[in-house]
Amino acid sequence: MLDFRIETFLTVCQTMNFTRAAELLHITQPAVSQHIHTLEAQFGAKLFAYAGKQLTLTPAGHLVLQTATTMRHDVHRLQELLRQQNARRRLCFGVTLTIGEYVMPEPLIRLLQQEPDTQIRMHVANTADLLHLLDEGDIDFAIVEGFFPQQEYDSLPYRTERYVAVCAPNYPFATPPRCLEDLLGERLLTREPGSGTREVLERVLHEHNRTVDDFRALTELGNLDAIKSLACAGLGIAFFYEPAVRAELAAGKLRELTLEGGDMTHDFTFLWRRGSVFADWYRTIFFHLLA
């Protein structure tokens, strides 16, 4: 439904190579060049430039990319709405792991109790993958804990959560830890690079001029329950959003480490493509899912 020249432009942006774009589109390289020249004439601006042999986007090209990406997303959304005209309401969205496992069940239960015919598809992935799905039109919106380019997405703060350090109740510290630096002599149990929880931890450490490599030992796991199990067994310390360990803290399986500097908090953010014509609908869904 998008103009074929816009599709060509987006493919060139994906590959930053005219020949590779032609292969993906199954057209000739001169045809790709002609499509781009036509767009440049239409917009009255150069969209690409070369820095040496490397193809780059111009400032005008960046603006067209942001707008065209939103257009593609909205076309997918429109097609879905047309398919749903005589069908059940459908929500297709993405969330990061912590949000999916420990935040979304309650609002989804409430939504399905109110609207039992609604069909729901919830993708769970890291923030970068969710942004890609959003840009491609594969999901309508996302709720993330990680960081994102704010110039490309409209957003609303979904909720603010405490970010806490935890360990086993009888974890054998040589001296009771009072600040973040006092934890560096321990094994850190954490998510893999790219996860929202890991990104927040890296930001916190960066503020103290530290990295995860400053800990005595590092164990990276892609599963929150596995990290909690190791922490409960006294095999290291870990950082979680408070909802993820609420049950373990209440049961005495983990204890929170109170560190100097006050509570660490971070926002979970509800976001969609900036400039989308469906913005009002996304805001309505936001309030339906507000925890």
Instruction: Identify each DSSP E strand in the chain by its residue range.
Output: 48-51, 54-57, 90-95, 119-124, 141-144, 153-167, 187-190, 217-220, 237-241, 255-257, 264-273
Angle between helices 59-83 and 29-43 (to 10 degrees): 100
Comparing CA positions, the residue from 225, 252, 253, 250 lying closest to residue 240 is: 225
Is the confidence at residue 76, as pLDDT, over 80?
A: no
Instruction: Identify each DSSP E strand in 107-195 by its residue range.
Output: 119-124, 141-144, 153-167, 187-190
In a domain, 181, yes or no: yes
pLDDT of residue 281: 87
Q: Which residues on adjacent β-strands are paired with residue 88? A: none
Does 258 lie in the same domain as 198? yes
Grouping H, G, I as helix, E, B as strand and the rest as coil, residue 51 is strand
Tell me which of 77 and 248 has the higher pLDDT.
248
Which residue, of 50, 73, 96, is where some domain finishes?
Answer: 73
Does 253 lie in the same domain as 184? yes
Condensed to tens digits (0 to 9), the pLDDT of residues 31-49 reads 888 888 888 888 899 999 9
For the chain, what is the domain count?
A: 3
Contacts of 2 (CB under 8 A, 6+ apart): 68, 71, 72, 75
67-76, 122-131, 151-160: least confidently modelled range: 67-76
pLDDT of residue 182: 94
42-56, 173-187, 215-229: least confidently modelled range: 42-56
Q: Phi, psi (5° rounding) for residue 179?
A: -140, 175
- The CATH code of the domain that includes 14 is 1.10.10.10
In a domain, 281, yes or no: yes
In a domain, 82, yes or no: no
In a domain, 26, yes or no: yes
- The CATH code of the domain that includes 121 is 3.40.190.10
pLDDT of residue 87: 52
In a domain, 78, yes or no: no
Give the position of tokens 């996302």. 142
In a domain, 185, yes or no: yes
Q: What is the mean pLDDT of residues 276-284?
A: 88
In a domain, 50, yes or no: yes
Q: What is the mean pLDDT of residues 279-284?
A: 89
Measure Cα distances from 227 to 134, 172, 183, 205, 265 in Å.
29, 18, 17, 19, 20
Does 257 lie in the same domain as 183? yes
Does 252 lie in the same domain as 113? no
Length of the chain: 291
Does 133 lie in the same domain as 168? no
Condensed to tens digits (0 to 9), the pLDDT of residues 186-204 reads 999 999 998 888 989 999 9
- Domain of residue 252 covers 160-267
What proportion of the chain, given as a percentage, has pLDDT over 70?
96
Which residue, of 73, 100, 115, is where some domain finishes?
Answer: 73
DSSP 8-state symbol, 151:
T
Q: Do 291 and 158 touch, CB atoms closer than 8 A?
A: yes
Does 144 lie in the same domain as 285? yes
Q: What is the mean pLDDT of residues 93-112?
A: 93
